[in-house]
Amino acid sequence: MIVTTNDLFRHAYGNYAIGAYNINNLEQTVGLFRGNLGKSGSNEEPVDASKAAPFIIQISRGARGYTDKRFLEGMIRNAEEVFPEAIFAVHLDHGTEEACYDCIDSGFYSSVMIDASHEKLAKNIEITRRVVDRAHAKGIVVEAELGQLGGVEEDVVGSVCLTDPAEAVEFVEKSGCDSLAVAIGTSHGAYKFSGSQGLHFDVLEKIQKALPEEFPLVMHGSSSVPKEWVHRINEAGGKLKDASGVNEEQYLPAAKLGVCKINIDTDGRLVWCAIHREFFRDKPEEFDLRGPGKLFMPAYADYIVHKNQMLGSSGQLDGVRASLGAGVTG
């Protein structure tokens, strides 16, 4: 069941974070749905309520243009039918104004992100306000971003600039956005930190205190870049030197400070890359694409189960269902 992103935030606020996972293809989609229902090896397994979690599917502009955006929409609709117990939102990740309008008008998306964080404050507010007005008229909620992450965001190469709590107050008030992506030390991609760097919890706490009560915050660039997967990739011929990510033990403390949505894309790519590299290394005579796909889907599902445990969203699906007034899964 597709729900509005704010319904998920209301249930999560202050206790746990919802995993927001990017998808690009069928195998990722199937693995994602299985994982969020606590299934591992097949679609037919029963739902494991102790692991089942609400989630957000994220679609980037790159994903929309990879084949045709309609394929993604079709896959999600079909997944909703194959996995009727799933409760999730569909979200445009890092949208331009034009992409936001396209998604708002499509009637398919639960929420859009307008990313004008590279603009000056006044311009960011102006652009975000326009998107908010158009989205709210159709009952769609808007994530906006203030501050700049490091790394690469679509075609914007960012240099880190942490979110200023006082600016955040002005931004939220004037733009009317429903959730705010904050820069607190993370960056996109596989190379986030060197040495003992980590999240700036002091800044996060100030932002939470300054904003209206229970205002949902979002953390981008939150992949943990697990050493195990990087090692497997490199053992199978990859060259990912000094890759490092966010410490997973920091997800829950961030959630307690108002972070309701934690964005993860890179980790899924690492799992995909390791499985495919190993498969073709070990079976050089193979060329059937379903071989690695059959290994990837359960591996990704298991990875999602683990991630949701770290986010605290595991086992929350029944609670979310009850909070929506739709009964409890059997």
Q: Interface with ligand 13P by CB under 6 A: which residues?
A: 22, 93-94, 188-189, 220-223, 263-266
| Residue 321, binding choice from ligand G3H, ligand 13P, Zn ion, none, Cβ under 5 to 8 Å by partner class | none
Coil/strand/helix, residue 239: coil
Q: Measured from the CB atom, is 51 or 188 closer to ligand G3H?
A: 188
Q: At what angle do helices 69-82 and 26-36 cross, to 10 degrees?
A: 30
CA distance 20 to 289: 27
Beta strands at 151-153 and 141-146: parallel, antiparallel or unpaired: unpaired
CA distance 254 to 245: 15
Number of Cβ within 10 Å of residue 60's Cβ equals 20
Q: Measured from the CB atom, is 51 or 220 closer to Zn ion?
A: 220
Beta strands at 179-182 and 141-146: parallel, antiparallel or unpaired: parallel
| Part in contact with ligand G3H (CB under 6 A); list of ranges 57-65, 193-201, 244-252, 298-306 | 57-65
Site for Zn ion (CB under 5 A): how many residues? Answer: 2
Structure tokens at 312: 């605290």
| Residue 264, binding choice from ligand G3H, ligand 13P, Zn ion, none, Cβ under 5 to 8 Å by partner class | ligand 13P
Structure tokens at 15: 């206790």
Rule CB under 5 A: choose which of 61, 69, 220, 307 binds Zn ion. Answer: 220
| Part in contact with Zn ion (CB under 5 A); list of ranges 62-70, 117-125, 214-222, 283-291 | 214-222
Structure tokens at 82: 């194959």
| Residue 5, binding choice from ligand G3H, ligand 13P, Zn ion, none, Cβ under 5 to 8 Å by partner class | none
- The neighbouring-strand residues paired with 90 are 57
Question: Which of 48, 68, 93, 318 is flagged as catalytic?
Answer: 93
| Known catalytic membership, residue 302 | no
Catalytic residues: 93
Binding site for ligand G3H (CB under 6 A): 22, 60, 62-63, 93-94, 153-154, 188, 265
